[in-house]
Chains A and B, each alone.
Chain A
Amino acid sequence: MFKKFQDTVFEGIQNPKKRNFILIATFIAFVLSVLMIAPSKMVLAKMLPGKNNDTFTIYATLAEGSSIEQTNRVSECVAKYLKNEKEITDFEIFLGMGAPLDFAGLIKGSHFKNSENVSEIVVNLTKKHHRDEPSYFMVQRIRPEIQNNCTKLYENTTITFVEPPAGPPVLAAIVAEVYGQDSDGIRTLSNRVKDVFEKTDGLVDVEVMQDEIYDTFEVEVDSTKVSLSGVNIKQLNDVLYLAFEGMQIAVKNSSMINDQIPIYLSLSKESKKFSSKDINDIKAKLSSLKLMNQMGMMTPLTELVTIVPKKSNPMIMSKNLHKMTNVMAETDMVSQVYPLMEARNTILETFSDKYDIEKIGLFNLRLVDKTSKDVYELIWDGEMEVTLDTFVELGAAFIAALVLIFLLMVIYYKSYTLSGIILLGSFLSIIGVIVGHYIMDIFTADTFFLTATSLIGFIALIGISSRNSLLLIDFTASLMRDSKMGKAEAIAYASATRAKPIFLTAAAIILASTLLAGDAVFGGLGVALIFGTIAAVVASLIIVPILLYKSDLNKHFNLDEE
């Protein structure tokens, strides 16, 4: 078999037609495979794919100012649907607080949750080995049902599904940071961005990180009356607080109980409820509260104050000293890159009615309000940003690896041509990596993404395939030097002899990587190694011999002098 291969190589490299045909075919294959990523989207890029977990968390957030009873109703609605699932073993509802912290929660600020309008539901599933449906498919399946039925109970309710991330956690798959000077302007703009996200295919769990503005009342104190009646404002505040919020006014130590026992004072639940949200009902209730001055005289609270309706003060957020609001969205089993581009295009097309839009940076936008001339900026962050950074850095690492290998080869061979051949041979393995991803994508149910781990596999491949070429060239050199073989003969003999260990090591890599290929996160690495190695073997046994034959080996091996 190897003898036959030796003859084929021997004839092949000496036939200029075959030679050029192979080189041109390789070049075309290379260009085509690169095209598969960029414009055609046949191979999709994503930082890390989803991971099959035994658990996920559901965050329910009601409008600011909602009561715990309302939150409970939404949570129980979610629970009702969870009970239909046969793969769920148990679930826990945490009302008014975050669930026990996990990686995703840490970034999403779950540990700071402390209000009546939030709840988190931890869902535990059966072990993934005994379950047919991966958790990400399950989430995708139950998400629309739960969101459609439970978010409509109260206006502005959002329910999001949080899965443990496969890699480092991020705030959300897509985050649009809307920067500006004017809070109302930011609010308007971010709500429009939110609408765009909601209409974009592939985006789910859309949320704006801002408080809704709701109706409140303010107690305005008449300071003249307060001082005339001999009470002070602190007293007034305390009474209001005591009456409706209640306060721990004293403690009692106990040896039986693990904590101090507080004595808590408040109006009884029944008597403190306002009859309605109407201002007159509130006044009526407040008139029953009285303040006592130092002389023991009683003054009804309503005598000292006026009650005025007002709007609530929404939270003001800023990042790096600039005022901003986040609009966040998760992706529904698709890469975040393409929905982001789609949303960005929609913004570019439809926002021009109110804003002058200018592109800044790679994807970011600057919007200028046509009437008020206020400037807003829309900066993309989240997984998208991390992906971009990671791909850029891994790309840089890739180039650095190429340079290092080239220098190493130049030191070893003292020839730029030979080093160039090795590098070129290694570079061709990219064809295998990309085609491999395309093939895997056809054969797997969900999209098989080109991920960060694919890139790592690709970087490792350059080393592996340069090793193949190196052993080949080294053997050719020793044949020409020691056995005084002719160029074509030496190349052919070396290719045939080296073919066995090259095949063996390639087979070892491929076999070791097949187990990697099944993993969600490292599948990209496995596939890159499997198909890249195949391409590398072809490159080092066919392309490298041809290139070697075309170069002046006597000169490069320093044989002329001897």
Chain B
Amino acid sequence: MMIHYKPTDIAGKLASGFLRNPLTIVLGIFLLSIGYLALNIMPREENPQMVVSGSTVIVALPGASAAEIEKAIVKPLERKLKEVKGVENISSMAMDNVGVVNAAFFIGEEKENSNLKIYDKIMQNSNMFPKGAMNPIIKPLDIDVDIPVISVAFYSKDANMSKTELYERVKNIQHHINGLSNVAVTELKGGNRHQFNVEVDLNKLSGYNISMGQIVQGVQSLSYSVPAVKNRTKENEIVMLGVKNALESADDIGNIIIAQYMGSPIYLKQVAKVSASYDIQNFKSATISKKNENGVFSELQNQVTLTVSKLQGTNAVVIADAVKSDLETYKEYLNNNNIGYVITRNDGERANEAVNELVFHLLLSIVIIAILLIIVLGWRESLIVTFTVPAILAITLFVAYLTGQTINRITLFAFLLSLGLLVDAAIIVIENIHRHYHSRESANKSVDDIMVEATDEIGPPTNIATLAIIMTMVPMAFVGQMMGQFMKPIPANVPVALVASLFVAYIFTPYLAARMLKKPEFHSEEKH
């Protein structure tokens, strides 16, 4: 079949080029499959990634008052950090003993670069800190690593379990979970560590006339570890000679002689209670209360929370699932040790739910629009338009994947927003085809000619109109601040969807229409 109509616009040219091309169907299937692929491999998260950079510099000067810290540490440090390009705000706190200065970069400043700049500035000027100041601690802000995606609270079901045992057991699990792929940082909150406590009775101390310094010396002189000594025999065989640590247990520590009193030795255990116990000086603790099946809250129990954060650009859903299934394998170990756990945060699940809900909304919208089209245009036309939607979304998703975006709430909202816009081009094309098909003037034209002509006719205004919508999105990409960053997926994806909608409308709508629409027999009146 020949096409006699000479298309003038890109719309008609695309339509005539693909109308009888056997590869068109292959292209369609290809587009759908790359879209499906992108949907499945793109990392999912609840909120879009924001490029927020900043560093906190902490400098301690023991014994200095807040006012002294302000003058000696904070002010010089602030001035130096002010020199760094890209810093928006510098806030600082001067307290007794320590000064904290935080430099926040403009939103969008690249993380690695910003961290380097701060580090560089501090190192170049390390001589500005006063004598006695400790080395500055530079803590860069890293949203991905700092904010855990999953947190698990482990608690003991056995009231008699020692405070350190829970911590030790969870620490074993932590090490294993840290080894899962794409896990960045794992941390424990709460719990108590092992510690030998030497609790001196002040009355006995003064009774024996001993100073605290003597106890320190006594303990330190015996808690010294050295590597084994290597020596040779006459036959040049190597003999290792190890020195055993003098302190193995709490009893060993209690038996340290700390002073002589009236000629007899005074053991540490005489003035102090020595115990192998937990870190009593640690004031931090974590507790949990959870509701049982009967809807009654348990008493507050000691717990240790394990937090897991992910590497940048990785899929929170996958990591959360991996952690979950890893915990399943520990079930027996935990049960045997009377430890229960509650997952107290699961951003992966949250992200997956949000994404799935929106994907469902997206599908629902497509169905609703399809029904509307069936009512107004007829089911064949409706089917054609409905096919173009997944094709357009597939292209947009794939482009989003190539540009390193993630699937999050805002990307999906961008899709929902563009959904109303991207069926337009197809509707306009199919409506014009429909009108030409059913008009008496084209009764003698071939199907292909009608297709190309109808598409070509509405080409220029549709192109310009779509360009107009794209134009409205462009300035949005330049909105700064947090909000601009947060909304970035909208100006990034809507224009892509719109351009894709044009191509899909020009290529596939005539292609499908030529095969699916029945040309009406023209004796009857025009219906519309």
Residues of chain A touching chain B, judged by Cβ–Cβ distance below 8 Å, are 2, 47, 54-55, 68, 76, 79, 82-83, 86, 88-97, 99-103, 106, 111-112, 114, 116, 122, 124, 167-170, 211, 235, 238-239, 242-243, 245-246, 248-254, 257-259, 261-272, 285, 288-292, 298, 313-321, 386, 389-390, 393-394, 396-398, 400-401, 404-405, 408-409, 412, 452, 456-457, 459-460, 462-464, 466-467, 470-471, 474-475, 497, 500-501, 504-505, 507-513, 515-516, 519, 521-522, 525, 529, 533
Contact = CB atoms under 8 A, between A and B. Distances in A.
B148 interface: yes
Interface in B472-515: 472-476, 478-487, 490, 494
A138 to B, nearest CB: 15
B200 interface: yes
Contact of A405 (B196, B198, B420, B471): B471
B345 A100 contact: yes
Interface in B128-143: 141, 143
Contact of A264 (B96, B196, B202, B361): B196
Nearest to A261: B194
Given A264-B281, A265-B216, A321-B82, A79 B289 contact: yes
Contact of B476 (A100, A116, A397, A501): A397
B109 interface: no
Range of interface residues on chain B?
A: 35 or more
Interface string B187-206: 00110011111111111011
B518 interface: no
A515 B416 contact: yes
A497 B526 CA distance: 13
A505 to B, nearest CB: 4
A106 B420 CA distance: 37
5 contacts: A262-B196, A292-B211, A393-B479, A393-B480, A397-B476
A93 B94 CA distance: 29
Nearest to A177: B91
B321 interface: no
B468 interface: yes
A181 to B, nearest CB: 13
A103 B50 CA distance: 11
Contacts of B223: 250-252, 263
B221 to A, nearest CB: 9
A408 B198 CA distance: 82
Contacts of A316: 66-67, 69-70, 74, 93-95
B471 A463 contact: yes
B55 interface: no
B214 interface: yes
B171 interface: yes
Contact of A101 (B69, B92, B147, B219): B147
B219 A408 contact: no
B89 A95 contact: no
B472 A262 contact: no
Interface string B100-129: 100000000000000000000000000000
A394 B95 CA distance: 40
B404 interface: no
Contact of B148 (A100, A262, A267, A460): A100
Contacts of A266: 197-200, 280-281
Contacts of B236: none
A167 B408 CA distance: 13
Contacts of B196: 252, 261-264
A289 B428 CA distance: 92
A457 B302 CA distance: 49
Contacts of A258: 168, 171-172, 175
Chain A CB count within 10 A is highest, among B100, B297, B428, B462, for B297
A259 B171 CA distance: 10
A261 B205 contact: no
Nearest to B248: A252
B190 A94 contact: yes
Nearest to B68: A313
Contacts of A243: 200, 202, 212
B372 A83 contact: no
Nearest to B203: A271
Interface in B370-427: 372-373, 376-377, 409, 413, 416-417, 419-421, 423-424, 427
Interface string B297-327: 1001001010100000000000000000000
Given A122-B344, A268-B201, A292-B211, A167 B482 contact: yes
B474 A96 contact: no
Contact of B92 (A169, A318, A504): A318
Contacts of A271: 200-203
A418 to B, nearest CB: 12
B257 interface: no
A470 B464 contact: yes
A459 B199 contact: no
Contacts of A317: 91-94
A258 B165 CA distance: 11
A18 to B, nearest CB: 27
A500 B434 CA distance: 12
B468 A466 contact: yes
Contacts of A467: 424, 465-466, 468-469
A280 B56 CA distance: 42
Contacts of A106: 141, 143, 146-147
Contacts of A522: 413, 416
Nearest to A391: B483
Nearest to A469: B465
A101 B198 CA distance: 35
Nearest to A525: B417
Given A263-B198, A401-B475, A500 B431 contact: yes
B445 interface: no
Chain B CB count within 10 A is highest, among A102, A112, A114, A252, for A252
B209 interface: yes
Contacts of A101: 146-148, 307
Contacts of B462: 471
Contacts of B287: 92-93, 95
A111 B168 CA distance: 24
Contact of A265 (B171, B194, B215, B376): B215
Contacts of B90: 319-321
A79 B291 CA distance: 13
Nearest to A273: B202
Given A90-B344, A459-B475, A467-B469, 8 more contacts: A91-B288, A94-B189, A95-B283, A252-B223, A264-B281, A290-B211, A508-B372, A512-B417
A86 B528 CA distance: 59
Contacts of B143: 106
